[in-house]
Amino acid sequence: MFTYGGVFRDEEHLADSLTGGFAGSEEVTSLECSLQLEVFKRYWTART
């Protein structure tokens, strides 16, 4: 079992990680994936 917990910079980085292969990927016969996307926004207010 291969488990990866981490943060991806963006959707493209996530896609590259999923399609780029893993060590020993020739032995991988299936892939199950559970994703949670959290988008954080910071609203800046001008300080006077």
The residues, any chain, with a CB within 8 Å of residue 17's CB and separated by 6 or more, are: 4, 8
Higher pLDDT, 12 or 32: 12
Nearest-angstrom CA–CA distance, 17 and 13:
6
How many helices and strands (H and E) does the chain possess? 1, 0
Give tens-digit pLDDT for 19-43: 776 666 677 777 777 777 666 677 7
Nearest-angstrom CA–CA distance, 35 and 5:
10
Look at residues 40, 39, 34, 25 and name the one whose alpha carbon lies nearest to residue 5: 34
pLDDT band for position 10 (50/70/90)? confident
Instruction: Determine the pLDDT at residue 5.
Output: 63
Backbone torsions φ then ψ of 9, nearest 5 degrees:
-65, -40
